[in-house]
Structure 1
């Protein structure tokens, strides 16, 4: 089968190659991949790799062979989900806990844009507790996780605030269904505008430090990433003087041992109902993987890039 492989000695560092078709374990289905989307973490790792491997987390496709234990949907079922590695390929294997059926009316590109970004957003918001009427601030709001988090928080009845330097983000958030989003250009500006019951941060560094000082009493900051690649240095006095303020970490890798199918079904259902719009910036053939990866690491993508496997 054809795959995308890292090639540390070449330029570009990502290219199509040949590899054996994966052999599923008894609890895994063999899935023919139709599309996959890119996530910043996996792309950065692939671009910096010193060994050759097949990257990829998200995918959407069709079950070629159901799991021998009968736990997965049958052959011919349209499914989507994510794996720890290897989805940038014509075939991937996945267990029932990491996939869900794609509802009628939802395309492969839409489904492929969901898994890691939307599950991260949903899990982060769920970990913060009820959101109705609460002030929710999302940093890095122009990215995939950020766009999903803004809309999911809005659907849960929160007052949505976002941080992004992208001038067109307010327009895009309104297109996503958020009637009156408030967008700040810096975290400092957001802090000056008030305090927040929930803050979702995937930027890290100075953003996280400022976020901790912007929490309302009993507020929670959920840290799910470190896009800046920098450590956070903050004054603990500003943090612990806020009654009940807390910092919570969330890493999607911990979900790999859990059953993610309920969240995947819920997200796909919201898309099918027209309540959640996957923020797809562009859909490209997977032969454009090198250019697509450069666009993502260059931060010139609004939302998600999806690549189709042909």
Structure 2
């Protein structure tokens, strides 16, 4: 038997612990002893709508205790990072090799656990802009896990990057990522015009923010909608969008993207960038996984920026 975190509608933040049978790996899966997991707002928010005792969790890092029976992938004792559609917040997981990557010895389990959802979302969203050297990029949600990774990767690609922040203190955090300009206050998105037009916009806010950003796209520009933290509806000026021509609004869902990408290779890439200190995860909270309810509640109340990592004893 192993312990895992499950959805419990009666718990303060809808999470509780339960003993379940240890996972049985399929031939193309490795059995991993989980050392750390990271939290994403989406999975925490979604837990409130899931059935009781369902098992949440996407990001994890740990040690292979049983390699895949097909003989491929990381071997026993390998340090790995991975991604699951559910159930990653467990003492052990059976992970498909396609979603698993070995990590360097110098990379901590805490840093590694931040990479799958946030890191891959940032990487794949930026790739929608093609060659980024010399291009102008606007990123909303700049102080979140995805935003901080996106800023760093965009800056290293030679782009001119503009971000957002709700306070001057958080603006300093965005500047540290290499952002060229930071707009303070989400109600002032229209002021971003002076730094545009933009070849690529990555938006995680949705609602009125998305509507205000679309006219700021350059010809052949792409707006990648990765979330909707403010509102899941938006009123778009279709006349402007259609008559301007050549602009693209791309709906981004990581689950769909993973079916068309080499996840293991891209996780390895992100891990190497962190090891080489070219990409720095912003971990604001580290705690034992027994504090899941407190950390989840603080995340939903936006009491910290960056990532939260839980350690499994």
Question: TM-score, structure 1 length as denominator?
Answer: 0.95
Match of residue 38 from structure 1:
39
Q: 1:193 to 1:160 in 2, by over 3 A?
A: closer
The 5 Å alignment of 1:111-150 reads 111-150=112-151
Work out which of the residue numbers 248, 264, 279 in structure 2 matches 1:261. 264
Counterpart check, 1:183 vs 2:188: no
Q: 1:167 to 1:105 in 2, by over 3 A?
A: same
In structure 2, C-alpha distance between the alignment counterparts of 1:184 and 1:128, rounded to whole Å: 25
In structure 1, C-alpha distance between the alignment counterparts of 2:25 and 2:92, rounded to whole Å: 10
In structure 2, C-alpha distance between the alignment counterparts of 1:138 and 1:207, rounded to whole Å: 11
CA contact (8 A) 2:165 2:171 kept: no
Q: 1:12 to 1:39 in 2, by over 3 A?
A: closer
Match of residue 244 from structure 2:
242
Q: Secondary structure at the match of 2:153?
A: helix
Match of residue 272 from structure 1:
275
Instruction: Give the C-alpha shift of residue 192 in structure 1.
Output: 5.2
Match of residue 300 from structure 1:
303
Q: 1:191 to 1:202 in 2, by over 3 A?
A: same
In structure 2, C-alpha distance between the alignment counterparts of 1:84 and 1:217, rounded to whole Å: 36
Counterpart check, 1:215 vs 2:211: no
CA contact (8 A) 1:118 1:267 kept: yes
Gaps of 5+ in 2: none
The 10-residue stretch of structure 1 (155-164 or 58-67) with the greater mean CA deviation from structure 2:
155-164
The 5 Å alignment of 1:66-77 reads 66-77=67-78
Superposed CA offset, 1:133-154 (max 9, x none) = 1110001111000111111100
In structure 2, C-alpha distance between the alignment counterparts of 1:180 and 1:199, rounded to whole Å: 15
Instruction: Give the C-alpha shift of residue 46 in structure 1.
Output: 1.1
Work out which of the residue numbers 195, 198, 219 in structure 2 matches 1:196. 198
CA contact (8 A) 2:165 2:174 kept: no
Instruction: Give the C-alpha shift of residue 17 in structure 1.
Output: 1.9
The 10-residue stretch of structure 1 (207-216 or 284-293) with the greater mean CA deviation from structure 2:
207-216
Q: Secondary structure at the match of 2:191?
A: helix
In structure 2, C-alpha distance between the alignment counterparts of 1:179 and 1:138, rounded to whole Å: 10
Q: 1:179 to 1:56 in 2, by over 3 A?
A: closer
CA contact (8 A) 1:184 1:190 kept: no
Give RMSD over aligned pairs: 1.5
In structure 2, C-alpha distance between the alignment counterparts of 1:216 and 1:44, rounded to whole Å: 34
Q: 1:300 to 1:93 in 2, by over 3 A?
A: same
